[in-house]
Structure 1
Amino acid sequence: MKKMLALLLTTGSLFSNSHASDYPIVLVHGFQPAQLATRPNRFEVEQDGSHYWQDYWLPKASARIDWPSHERITGRIVSDYAWPVLQQLSRQGTCQNGCIFITHSTGDLVMRYLLDNQALWLENAGLEPLNIVATLDFAGAGGGSELGDLAINVATGSSWIDAALRFAVSLWLGETPSPANLGVLNDLRVNTARQLAAFPDARIPRIRMVAASNDYFGTTGLFLPGTDDGVVASHSSCGASTVAAFNSCSGQVGFDGKLSAQSKAVTSFMPYHYPMLMSDNYSHNGILTDRQRGQVTLARASVNLTDQTDYGFGSDDISAGWWIFRSTYRVVRGSDQFSMSELVYQELLD
């Protein structure tokens, strides 16, 4: 009875009518390292999920998919946590006129698996598939993270592990991982992540918001190829189809907004992945907050959602410097005043 009551409390609290955008918003959070050790129960998973989004997105959402990091995506994360929410979204008609899923970090990978399967699962259950018009993916880890591979190596005690790597992993996870508590870290390994629903049939645009600053004193970036946000490399956050040391999601503009040819930019993307906002002022975790951290640039100006609604941002090209040192920077309008999350939400209201 207690388990059933917890389920009812969890599912019921996910849904509300408090959203202002044209589309109901559904949140899918990212990896929560502390859960590897705490192994939370269902009620605690819901509490952690609420806390995850509280800085900005929580009151703007109609629903959340809260999932535990000590489990695997194709196991209990989907069967026990995502599937009940998908059913309720369908039964309530939340996405009947279209809805937007917002993901962060590993939520990007969870969402890719759900997009590839939700229509079939719901049809087989006699329910209407969800009409998802797009996902907005912040610091997406859909391409995996090399830190996931390294954390597992540290946990399993590989002989070549050095002190610098152990320190970097402990900064990210908060502690040295135990081989008994690896959970979704297994799914975050680069090769594993890229094999999970790599070519989904659903033609739903995955619009990417990409950061390139580091909260860990640059320590974790030593183990990530190319430009990174402290947790995932740009091959993952940009949505690249291959793994390489990329320095931008665009061949024409850098993470700092400078208009110039990028010699190591991503040129091939996973299906329906569209990097849009980029900034070297935001980090993996900072990208979700309501704090304006610096100007933002554009990798792509707009994308059509599945209902053909245009979603995009205006920008200005601003020159700075003198003579041969003069450079031009592409700056998203309003990014000198608003956080990246606020920019994304404001555009949903337009």
Structure 2
Amino acid sequence: MGMWAFAALAAMALAGTALATNYSLWVNGRGGGGVAGNYADFTYWGPSSTAAGVNKKAVNWDGYNHISDQNYLVRNALDCYCTGSNWCYIAAHSAGDLMIGYTLAMYGGSSRTITNATPNSSGVCSASGAGTQTGWNIKWVDIAAGAAGGSELADLGDWALSEPLVSDLKTTTARAMYDHSNTRAKWFYMYAGASGTLYSAVLPGQDDEAVAYHSSGGVSGSSGAAFCNPSDWFCNDLTLGTAANEGGRAKWGYHSVKFRDDNEAYNHYTNGNWAGVVSLVRSDMVNNAR
């Protein structure tokens, strides 16, 4: 090979390396707020100027319709930013946990087109010409106040029964929707809040006013149960990490409790300013999603 041809190949290799990019994708929960397909709209979370991980993108869905009906929006985002040489860190809140878990279990083994990471106005990226790959390039997933285990507020009608999403969030429905342990070997790090008082008679064990520890802690099983902080002697403890909980109930596969709210200081709500349990996930994304 001539010197110039070798130099050209080397330059191309370096260019390919330079194009590799990491992104931080934020998947909203119930209520929505951001414009679907607009990855710069952080209305659901708080000010868009707030740091939230490298190259942050808002994966907006309406937070109202069924998970299955809105899931294409999440797949569009993953196809855009998590294929080819690009990698993603994922953060999700509340029903966003159900959404990303469903995405990986149902589509994480499918063939995906490698794209150019340049979305059109609908949030769809074009093929880069590099072919296809299986699933997406995801480093790990942070979950704030996860609702993939459902909520008793959906079971008992405390939320509007006309919302299609609320029917998905019933505890038995959410837990049967897909194999929660099939994360395609991507780790889900759970952040569970316990500053709940309003619905303490409805939500079992410790809760953040919307979901109980059985859901936010990634506890397995076909239905919810009561789990608490170690200071509560009348309830089985939600354990940290991947260990089975007190009483023997295991966590879903590839789920680890990163934060348990022993001081009962964090509730479910972002309050339009990255607040509640989301503040903890945002801090982790800033420090580790690089």
Q: Same fold (TM over 0.5)?
A: yes
**Out of 148, 168, 172, which is 1:191 matched to?**
172
Query: 5+ residue gaps in structure 1?
Result: 1-21, 36-41, 152-168, 256-260, 297-338
In the TM superposition, residue 265 of structure 1 has moved relative to its aligned partner by 1.4
CA contact (8 A) 1:87 1:127 kept: no
Aligned to 2:199: 220
Structure 2 distance, partners of 1:46, 1:264, is 43
CA distance in 1, matches of 2:227, 2:53: 35
Aligned partner letter, 1:204: K
Normalized per residue, the structure richer in strand is 2
**Residue matched to 1:345:** 285
Q: Does the CA-based 8 Å contact 1:90-1:127 persist in structure 2?
A: no
Q: 1:92 to 1:64 in 2, by over 3 A?
A: farther
**Alignment correspondent of 1:28:** 27
Please state how far the C-alpha of 1:148 moved relative to its aligned partner: 1.2
Residue 113 (str. 1) matches residue 95 (str. 2): no
**Which one-letter code corresponds to 1:68 in the other structure?**
D
Structure 1 residues 48, 342: closer, same or farther in 2, change over 3 A?
Answer: closer
| Residue ranges of structure 2 left out of the alignment (5+ in a row) | 1-20, 115-130, 239-244
1:140 is displaced (CA, Å) by: 0.6
Q: Cα offset for 1:224?
A: 0.5
Q: Which amino acid aligns with 2:31?
A: Q
Q: Which residue of 2 aligns with 1:38?
A: none
Cα pair 1:134 1:205 within 8 Å, conserved: yes
The answer as to whether partners of 1:290 and 1:341 remain within 8 angstroms in 2 is no
Structure 1 position 277, deviation (Å): 1.3
CA shift, 1:82, in A, is: 1.9
Measured after TM superposition, the shift of residue 200 of structure 1 is 0.9
The equivalences for 1:219-298 within 5 A come to 219-242=198-221, 243-248=224-229, 253-254=230-231, 264-266=236-238, 267=245, 268-279=250-261, 280-286=264-270, 289=273
Q: What's the secondary structure of 1:114's corresponding residue?
A: helix
Once the two structures are TM-superposed, the CA of residue 197 in structure 1 deviates from its matched residue by 1.9
Maintained 8 Å contact 1:225/1:245: yes
- Higher fraction of helix: 1
Matches within 5 A, 1:118-133: 118-123=107-112, 127-128=132-133, 129-133=135-139
* Partner of residue 67, structure 2: 73
> In the TM superposition, what are the counterparts of 1:64-103 in structure 2 within 5 Å?
64-75=58-69, 77-79=70-72, 81-90=73-82, 93-95=85-87, 99-103=88-92
CA contact (8 A) 1:138 1:287 kept: no
Any idea what the Cα deviations from partners look like across 1:163-210, whole Å, max 9, x if unmatched? xxxxxx3xxx5xxx3x5x312111101001101222315111110111
Residue 58 and residue 343 in structure 1: after superposition, are their counterparts in 2 closer, same or farther (change >3 A)? closer
Q: Does 1:139 align with 2:139?
A: no
Query: Secondary structure of the residue that 1:276 maps to in structure 2?
Result: strand
Distance 1:63 1:232, change over 3 A: same
Equivalence map 1:47-58=2 (5 Å): 50-55=42-47, 56=50
TM-score relative to the length of structure 1: 0.58
- Once the two structures are superposed, residues 110-155 of structure 1 have per-residue CA deviations (whole angstroms, 9 ceiling, x without a partner) of 010111133333348952231112100001111011111222xxxx
Instruction: Indicate how the Cα distance of structure 1 residues 264 and 119 shifts in structure 2: closer, same or farther if over 3 A, else same.
Output: closer
Report what 2:16 is aligned to.
none
Q: Aligned equivalents of 2:189 and 2:273: distance in 1?
A: 18
- Cross-structure match for 2:190: 208
Residues 287, 340 of structure 1: 8 Å contact kept: no
**CA 78–341 in structure 1, closer or farther in 2 if over 3 Å, else same:** closer
Structure number with higher relative contact order (C-alpha < 8 Å, ≥ 6 residues apart): 2
Give a deviation string over 1:202-235, Cα, whole Å, max 9, x none.
1111101111003xxx222221011100000100
| Count of residues in correspondence between the two structures | 235
Q: Which amino acid aligns with 2:67?
A: I
Please, which moves more after superposition, 197-206 or 272-281? 197-206
SS at match of 2:208: coil
State the identity as a percent.
Answer: 24
User: Is the contact made by 1:229 and 1:283 (CA closer than 8 Å) also made in structure 2?
Assistant: yes
Give the partner amino acid of 1:340: L
Amino acid at match of 1:223: V
